Amino acid sequence: MYRYPKTEKGKESLNKIINASLDLISEKGFLNTSISDITNKAGVAYGLFYFYFKSKHDILDELIRKFNTDMRYYLKVNTMGIQNRIEMEKEGLAKFLEWMSQNKKYYKVFVEAQVHRPEMYIWHFNKLAERYKIGLKEAMDRGEIVKVDPELLAYVLIGIGEMIGRRYILWTNQGLTKKQYNDLAILIENMLRPK
């Protein structure tokens, strides 16, 4: 966790460091990015980095926390008001892929965390599943979706989004066609429909 700035100038400096880190780590990788690279790109003094962060690993942790928070907020805002859980899951998956497409830098940093900060990589998925399983359990109790282990289902749905996103957005940058989106919606509906 970083030291939170008390002034507007401090907040601006911290944001410059975070944004420079995001750009550089996504472009060059974690190991090839130095603290001096970050502070040079941010246009701040080298020592200022250490005022906010203890190490380069701390900035990677912060980027993962920001990634997690921003993505969950985006999904929440874009699925609010959808009453039917199956429809919410279909729209949520489409919005997740949209978010991933718009935030490839974050996603590249996230992939770096898998190797260099595995505990934060795991934290990210646990944090997602923690809230996700509650909503799924509530939908099960209402009879909207199949009754299975809600945590297991949360990870299955997260895994689908992860792999589809990597295959069609990160690896090839092509995105899904309209037919593929429709096919994905059919698969989700068939998997979740109560038996």
Q: What is the pLDDT along the chain (195 residues), one digit of tens a residue?
A: 567 777 888 889 999 999 999 999 999 999 999 999 999 999 999 999 999 999 999 999 999 999 999 999 999 999 999 999 999 999 999 999 999 999 999 888 988 999 999 999 999 999 999 999 999 999 999 999 999 999 999 999 999 999 999 999 989 888 899 999 999 999 999 999 998
Q: What residues contact 76, with CB distance under 8 A and at least 6 apart?
A: none
pTM over 0.85: yes
Residue 50, both tokens: 């250490």
CB 80 within 8 A of CB 132: no
CA of 18: how far to CAs of 2, 41, 131, 149, in Å? 11, 11, 26, 38
The pLDDT score that the predictor gives to residue 2 is 64
Measured in degrees and rounded to the nearest 5, phi and psi for residue 155 equal -70, -35
- Of the candidates 75, 63, 39, 70, the one whose C-alpha atom is nearest the C-alpha of residue 111 is 63
CB 145 within 8 A of CB 86: yes
The residue behind tokens 């991933």 is 100
The pLDDT score that the predictor gives to residue 5 is 74
* Cα dihedral 73, 74, 80, 83 sign: negative
- Of the candidates 84, 88, 95, 182, the one whose C-alpha atom is nearest the C-alpha of residue 132 is 88
Q: What element of type H or E holds 173? A: none
Helix (H, G, I), strand (E, B) or coil at 56: helix
